[in-house]
Structure 1
């Protein structure tokens, strides 16, 4: 309802006008404009639903794509194939106004087909490769030339039917949360279309009930989250920080609550989860049909209801649970029946998930094994994300998985012993193979090198490498070379984007270029390596202590997380979890030496 003459609208419109209008927007933005009726479908490249009809052995089958990629383009294909448009677009005055305000030329005069590849340089992070542009142009003829229409209509109808069935399975497997917010909205819109626009249809109602899972009211208004939260991920880290800082007995209620939460959150492992429709999809035939990896026993990034296990979340969830079971108060509460006992079978299924997720290169990917090939990136249709076509192996997923296997083996030494040793050794070799020449590891899921170095060193140490191994020493040298004068470390989002350590650290959103989260990661890495430079460790610890607020909190600084190199993620818990963890580990590792002056 905001007027077009509102100062905020004027500024936004001026920006658009100066940059060519929305015809220069990236493809995902254009897709939503088409749905709204603010752009014609001829201005968007083809998303053929019939791709799903290809035989599974076909080298480029959409079922081989990374799950986030395929679950977004699945509903896109359906809505594109149906040419879905808001049904009141031609009479809605808001749409009419937008058609005037968003463009630099009259809407009626635009030759839409010529704009399909237009994108502003500022949005063109991952330019569409030549192969994909060529394929887009071929598909444009396929969409319009009359000679193809009988065949196209026949296979498209089959593809649309399959897409709707596949989305229905995804909805049930995730309790209508879906893997992320993009396909959540598109799945919901597809369900609405499939229900002939009936808002009272059960599927549509179930979808709408889950919308609040993604809404986040922040200081500057309501936003759509990039996931339905990071609850399990943050909780797993937090409780390990408590344990390593020897604080579990100081906060026994917290420890019990976390134990209960982690027990409830293990995927498809509770009576409630097994009584849900999602559980039937765990059978091998359904997993094969809908391209799902084994889920039972894993832990999610967010909630059990979300239903997608991830290798590093499973690893950290398992480690968080095991560290609680080593606590005498938790063990006593379990023995008294105050806390539910984890059966050995549940831990074994968690291990099964992780062992099954190890890639052939020895590393671990995120949700699934890598099913495709590197050349898939030549067919990346998104300009704003890089490396989204297949599920790569990462330092973070690999460390979390192999260290969890190590800790499980310590508690259950006879279960799949040889397989676990073999997996750990392969994982160690993988970590060494992706270490950069300067000694660092690139962190793909946070900002960035301090984070990657922590995972790299931690993984090598737990895998049995000595603290003076060349790889560990080289990484320590890298970290020490980037310590700032105030004792801290700092990186911002540019480290992820440029794949190079941020020259100016956290100048914009930190403290003299340093930040508490990056400093926490660096100290965790150095103390895991038992770095002999106590002076540097002392300076880092003092920096963290200096930055702590009177309330006990640490200040919220710049964005610390990232998704596919170009999308920042805010983790508000990190500012407290990692300073506590780092200080606890450093105190345990260096003891009184931290209090001494050189």
Structure 2
């Protein structure tokens, strides 16, 4: 039922099968999470991707001839350890082998000195050839191979650096692609124009991975995903190849300078261009290609940014980026739920650390669409001031508001104004950009990954609606009303919501239900009922919920998956938001969390539950198995104790 103030009450069950008193598991997990806080107040958990990032780290060292044999040996051991029994490397834990990831892993291991006749290399090579050979790898893999002279440059789609000179109204402009795409592509345009060759000091090749000699291959570039636009863009690609050699030399130099002019203000100190590995690696190679000396301060700083991504030890690997703001804000939510207060030093330090990272001065790329909007927001990483993250901003604002709305009023007002100001026309929010919906660009040959854009999504929109509602904007406020309408439109026929940034429908449904609860949606509304029924139907016999990254493919949509603590936590939180906290499904979900294996702050969780780009790039957030189960179990325990009000947007 609803209170008069619109907040949702959930009646506790008549008899609680779980102890509604103080939970030793909650207390232990809370203490363990507190113990992981850094001295300055923040949390940082590992962020693991598939082996392509670590393989590309090895590529970069051989490109530059700056190889640390001991470090390389540890990274190679990590890559070997991720190989599946079928010989390939998947994009996520227990996934199907991916051709491009396997090509990169094989080449990295061969660069590191692995014998191509070793059993693990033979298995990998056999799999690659069975999938069509390295010629069938994706665009980014073929670019890497072209830089090492393993394929001709005609294996790569035409992307002239002169694109940097096009006006903003042109069909292709860096404004029209996502933040991650533009920071990766702009230095790549320099490399594709200059076509440097890796130093490759050991002269390692992989000709054995091709069904025919790579110089004889004629069918490198295809784009079958879009039957309508794909052929037209393939024709345009052929035309560009014919005319590109005739571009005036002066125009090319102006274009390269325009790319450098884009890069330099966004270098982001020792956090790196875009604060993501592919952009950082590309800019180091681009600087090398234009002749910047190794002792150039910008070059040294860019390399330092890359080294910060290494998780060094027995499992040495390279992370795609760092996630301290996201981890800190979510840890705050979990600890607040578990009884930690802002009066204590733990959350006071965390809040101050976040306050110090508000992006209140830099006018980032989002100003291309909103030039008059005052800046605010938070990045995902330590610093990434040109690219505040909408999702992070909403989660940070809700944590600070929950901790002390009066104390943090000024920054909350700035964040609220910024979030309202960057809402897209559809009523939704993208992760970084406004109205980044130029979908035709995903049909160009370069975009075979299908992740060139940053359109509005349900999960980010839900977080924004939750934040605005928690900060006091009513359901009739234009931004809230339009956001709710977007969420309603995107509900799947079965009652779930698609999860763009987390795996997958459980994540999306949790996000959407929290938002609808925050704006006072009645639990018996059709949208809430259908979502609650979907969640209950997807519960596993052990009481938990699970869904792996294969659910992004149609064939994996309705499969059963083993339960995971983080996804079970999302489902339990979602059921409580939908008014189902007193039900059997929530009770069984909480019981699963109580009994699931745990070590310190983290519940044991092997499957990956984070998403970079659906069907292309996935993430294992090592923190998800720490703060989300604690959060859900603590909230459920509070409900059992009679603290039935659920007042927060998440």
Q: Deviations over 1:128-175 (max 9, x none)?
A: 655345434433343346xx6444545433322211211112214885
> Which among 575, 597, 602 is matched to residue 526 of structure 1?
575
Query: Residues 434 and 305 of structure 1: is their aligned pair in 2 closer, same or farther, counting only changes over 3 Å?
Result: closer
Deviation of residue 319 (structure 1)?
1.0
- What is the alpha-carbon distance in structure 2 between the residues aligned to residue 101 and residue 489 of structure 1? 43
Structure with more of its chain in helix, by fraction: 1
Task: Answer yes or no: is the 8 Å Cα contact 1:492–1:558 preserved in 2.
Answer: yes
Matches of 2:430 and 2:197, distance apart in 1: 37
Residues paired across the two proteins, number: 531
Of the three residues 554, 562, 577, the one matched with 2:603 is 554
Indicate whether 1:103 and 2:210 are aligned.
Answer: yes
Alpha-carbon separation, structure 2, partners of 1:516 and 1:143: 51
How has the CA–CA distance of structure 1 residues 315 and 293 changed in structure 2, closer, same or farther, with 3 Å as cutoff?
farther
The equivalent of 1:94 in structure 2 is 203
Q: Match of 1:5? A: 117
Cα pair distance change 1:424/1:288, threshold 3 Å? closer
Distance 1:214 1:530, change over 3 A: same
Q: Distance in 1 between matches of 2:387 and 2:506?
A: 27
Matches within 5 A, 1:406-417: 406-409=469-472
Task: In structure 1, list runs of 5 or more residues that go unmatched.
Answer: 119-123, 270-278, 332-340, 410-416, 506-512
Q: 1:116 aligns with which of 196, 211, 220?
A: 220
| Contact preservation (8 Å) 1:60, 1:372 | no
Corresponding residue for residue 235 of structure 1: 328
What is the TM-score when the length of structure 1 is the normalising length? 0.81
Unmatched segments (≥5 aa) in structure 2: 1-112, 645-650
Deviations 1:270-319 (A, max 9, x none): xxxxxxxxx4xx28xx8767999968320111213565211111000111
Q: Pick from 310, 316, 327 the counterpart of residue 222 of structure 1.
A: 316
Counterparts in 2 of 1:522 and 1:450: CA distance versus 1, 3 Å: same
Match of 1:373 among 430, 434, 438: 438
Contact 2:233-2:445 at 8 Å conserved across structures: no
Report the equivalent of 1:202.
297
Find the counterpart in structure 2 of residue 433 from structure 1. 489
Quote the offset at 1:442 in angstroms: 0.7
In the aligned structure 2, how far is the partner of 1:457 from the partner of 1:499? 26
Distance 2:429 2:268 in 1: 27
Instruction: Provide the rounded CA distance (Å) in 1 between the counterparts of 2:444 and 2:428.
Output: 24
Q: How has the CA–CA distance of structure 1 residues 293 and 437 changed in structure 2, closer, same or farther, with 3 Å as cutoff?
A: farther
Distance 1:524 1:471, change over 3 A: same
- Conserved? CA contact 1:177–1:213, under 8 Å: no
Q: Following the alignment from structure 2 to structure 1, what is the Cα–Cα distance between the partners of residues 265 and 369?
A: 8
**Equivalences for 1:247-396 in 2 at 5 Å?**
247-248=340-341, 252-268=344-360, 279=362, 282=363, 296-305=375-384, 307-325=386-404, 342=408, 344-379=409-444, 381-383=446-448, 385-386=449-450, 388-396=451-459
For 1:237-293, what per-residue CA distance to the aligned partner results, in whole angstroms no more than 9, with x for missing partners? 1211221232337x9332223122212222246xxxxxxxxx4xx28xx87679999
* Matching residue within 532, 542, 546 for 1:486: 542
Counterpart Cα distance in 1 of 2:179 and 2:445: 14
Partner of 2:38: none
* Bigger shift: residues 149-158 or 396-405: 149-158
User: Over aligned residues, Cα RMSD in angstroms?
Assistant: 3.0
